[in-house]
Structure 1
Amino acid sequence: MLPYLTTVKPMRRIRYFIFLKDVLILALTTFGGPQVHLAMLYDRFVQKRRYLTEEELMELNALCQVLPGPTSTQTITAVGFKIGGPNLAYITLLIWVLPAVCVMTAAGMGIYYLEQRNLSLQFARFIQPMAVGFLVVAGYRIGRKVIKNQVSLALALTATLVAYVFSSPFMTPIVIAAGGLTTALTYEKQERMTKKPLQVQWANFFLWLGVFVAAAGLGAITQSLPVRLFENFYRNGSLVFGGGQVLTPMLYNEFVAFKHYLSREEFLSGLGLVQALPGPVFAFASYIGALSMRNDGLNGQFWGSFVSTAGIFLPGTFLIFFVYRFWEQLKRYRVVRASLEGINATSTGLTAAAGLALFQPMAAHWPSVVVVVVTIAVLLYTKVPPYVLILGGLLAGIYL
């Protein structure tokens, strides 16, 4: 029995167990990204169990959308926090991410196993262009929601160009910050709201910042690969707005284009696979971590997956615990609401730049181009689930 649950009253303990069982069911069945995740959270948490109201769930989801980190993961963690406080929230986070993390860790080890034995990876040849198709559609859908005027369109196009030309991972936070600052200057267009003095509890902020600084310092001093992996993913998890689709270009720039920990083919194979899994897309970090430490044996791969997973999920958890307590007051400030427009627009541009960078080597290979186009068409104009597409691509690769 989980230690935390043994300390609570029997009725509350039963309620917590039921809630955690629901979280596990969602972790095993929620395909399709944040929008689908939200619908399934609504069905189970609001309609079926009545853990919270529809208004409360939508409010939590809106808060998580404006924070860096994985939106679905932060939302379900925040629900756990609301029901049972921080301890239940941490258990919720663990149960939610564990299935996808285990599969992606095994996938990273499996890819390396095949490569070591010179076995063909051609069975995944359709998965790679399909992953590009997924990314294009994700960028398109995000863009339709966040590009509302000429300013946001200009920011998205500028971010696309800058991120495509300058592939350094250090460019990503600069682009995002510039976009947020640009629209923050237009705060006067936002509706005035009655403000109350902010009552901020700083503990979780200093915890987030302390880990950020300590990881960067230890990585620079020790040059230890596990420490540097943790720092890399912790930094990315602290800066990504918009969920897993926006995280993808950041990871590609850092681990493929810049550091060469993975090949482009390995990256795309993992990206395609994570689209077919239930749970958070951020579990992609586990796959990258395992392959980044392939030269350190099986234990090294486990360790690489663990530190990468912790690095990518902890920042968003610390920040949602921090901001949740004073969000009602913070969102009343016009400059805060205005900056979100630029952050969302530049995040769309980053996704577009990643799509271009990944598609460019395929452009001369017509079968790959056909797979990309067909994938985009199926996702946009049919209701075929992503995992069905991926499984079909795997079967076609094996058969052909």
Structure 2
Amino acid sequence: MLPYLTTTKPVRRIRYIIFLRDVLILALTTFGGPQVHLAMFYDRFVQKRRYLTEEELLELNALGQVLPGPTSTQTITAIGFKIGGPNLAYITLFIWVLPAVSIMTAAGMGIYYLEQQKLSLQFARFIQPMAVGFMVVAGYRIGQKVIKNQISLALAITAAVVAYLFRSPVMTPIVLLVGGLTTALTYAKQERMEKQPLRVQWANFFLWLGVFIGAATLGAFTQSLPVRLFENFYRNGSFVFGGGQVLTPMLYNEFVAFKHYLTREEFLSGLGLVQAVPGPVFAFASYIGALSMRDAGMHGQFWGSFVSTAGIFLPGTFLIFFVYRFWEQLKRYRVVRASLEGINAASTGLTAAAAIALFEPMAPYWPSVAVVVLTIGILLYTKIPSYVLIFGGLLAGILL
């Protein structure tokens, strides 16, 4: 096992460098969602390097699941925090997201360049219905895990109907809050655990809240697009439970249906492409940010990507730093565990509503419907990785 933090500074520095190299390797090779990421974290961090035990890894992953934000990113950031404190955690976050963010920023700029040159985007025509298929399967798999009784089923259906009928970004946190409060009332069904006094260090919570309020206030007064982009993504990152699958309908409602920063075709093309990119699915924000500031030129697109990336990843980072210190005590409260059931059920409904909204314009065109159905079938009944499907779709679009 590698030396612990009580060793000398040179040894600790070498340990940190090895750890960050491992993070970079994972950032370049982890295709798929949080479940795949967790398996690769286990192989490298537990079995190969023994930075932490299997139990510690699973606990950090569980903590990421109950907090808003990207689960895999919060898990690997928390591992960095456990090994070397907040400074190493921030470097870990940067290295983990950099490859995916760079690729998706380039994709956003590339899509805009093709549009400017009046070049055809037909090469991506199969990617768009495939993205809908990915969303349907994601919603189905989430539903299998979180819909356990009539209450959670009712919450999922209600969330889907409300999100479909009222396509405003304001509805998303309301739906999640109502879902959590509903099942929190059933806390008596949860197993009783011995409680310990909460010792809370509030610094990171106030940091999260201060940035939240400050960005909203500054955006309202200045009406600056970069500031508003940061606020939009920061707000979404503060309320998304369940990872990238749940983030997608939130971003669609905000930036396509409500604000029209992107066309539906641009959104679906990016959603498909991000499935073929290693690292966190939340890097989709970088693509949206770049396209949202297309009118400001290349410099503006880089700036849009930067503020959007910072906005989507910072809330989860602040909150994982805040809760990590008293998680052992917090998870013993039944009302906390009970509220997660409603939040997860409502998230399933949000995903279903977005999938329906994205599929509607495709319904009259049988080739698009066929691609959606074929994608769903391949994902459910084969073990073909998602990135292989996307590359296949791109190749078919180019050849045909």
Do Structure 1 and Structure 2 share a fold, with TM-score over 0.5?
Answer: yes
For residues 8-87 of structure 1, what are the structure 2 equivalents within 5 Å?
A: 9-87=9-87
CA RMSD in angstroms, aligned pairs only: 0.6
Partner of residue 146, structure 1? 146
The residue that corresponds to 1:303 in the other structure is 303
> 2: distance between equivalents of 1:381 and 1:23?
31
Q: Give, in angstroms, the shift of residue 302 of structure 1.
A: 0.4
Q: Deviations over 1:118-141 (max 9, x none)?
A: 100000000000000001111111
In 1, Cα distance between the equivalents of 2:372 and 2:126? 9
**Cα deviations by residue, 1:263-311 (Å, 9 ceiling, x for unpaired):** 0000000000000111000000000000000000000000000000000
In 2, the alpha carbon distance for the partners of 1:396 and 1:190 equals 51
**Distance in 2 of aligned mates of 1:42 and 1:141:** 22
Q: 2: CA distance between counterparts of 1:43 and 1:378?
A: 27
Query: Aligned ranges for residues 86-101 of structure 1 at < 5 Å?
Result: 86-101=86-101
Partner of 1:245: 245
Alignment correspondent of 1:209: 209
1:200 aligns with 2:204: no
Q: CA deviation at 1:191?
A: 1.0
1:103-142 to structure 2, matched below 5 A, reads 103-142=103-142
Percent sequence identity over aligned pairs: 86
> What SS does the aligned partner of 1:76 have?
helix
**Consecutive unaligned residues in structure 2, runs of 5 or more:** 1-7
- Give 1:38 deviation, angstroms: 0.3
Q: Any idea what SS the aligned residue of 2:169 has?
A: coil
**Residue type of the alignment partner of 2:339:** S
> Deviations 1:193-241 (Å, cap 9, x if unpaired)?
1111100000000000000000000000000000000000000000000
Q: Which runs of 4+ in 1 moved over 3 A?
A: none
| 2:280 corresponds to | 280
Q: Does 1:335 align with 2:335?
A: yes
- Alignment partner, residue 358 of structure 2: 358
- Report the counterpart of residue 5 of structure 1 in structure 2: none
Aligned residue in 2 for 1:165: 165
CA distance in 1, matches of 2:395, 2:371: 14
The CA distance in 2 between the partners of 1:295 and 1:74, in whole Å, is 33
- For 1:212 and 1:148, how far apart are their aligned partners in 2? 34
Alignment-mate amino acid for residue 290 of structure 2: A
- SS at the partner of 1:254? helix
Q: Distance in 1 between matches of 2:137 and 2:46?
A: 29
Task: Give 1:183's aligned residue.
Answer: 183
- Amino acid across the alignment from 2:245: Q
CA distance in 2 between partners of 1:259 and 1:372 (Å): 26
Taking the aligned partners of 2:74 and 2:155, their CA distance within structure 1 comes to 27
1:231-252 residue CA offsets vs partner (Å, 9 max, x unmatched): 0000000000000000000000
Q: Mapping of 1:315-330 within 5 angstroms? A: 315-330=315-330
Deviations 1:341-383 (A, max 9, x none): 0000000110111100000100110000000001011111111
Correspondence for 2:382: 382
Query: Distance in 2 between the 1:15 and 1:146 partners?
Result: 39
What TM-score do you get using the length of structure 2 for normalisation? 0.98
Deviates most, 187-196 or 316-325: 187-196
Q: Hey, what's the Cα distance between the residues in 2 that align with 1:344 and 1:179?
A: 8
- What is the alpha-carbon distance in structure 2 between the residues aligned to residue 85 and residue 146 of structure 1? 33
How many residue pairs get matched? Answer: 393
Partner residue, 1:367: 367
Matches of 1:384 and 1:227 in 2, distance apart?
40
Residue 3 of structure 1 corresponds to: none
- C-alpha separation in 1, matches of 2:265 and 2:23: 33
Task: Give the TM-score, by structure 1 length.
Answer: 0.98
| Structure-2 separation of matches of 1:130 and 1:10 | 50
Q: Which amino acid aligns with 2:268?
A: L
What is the alpha-carbon distance in structure 2 between the residues aligned to residue 146 and residue 311 of structure 1? 28
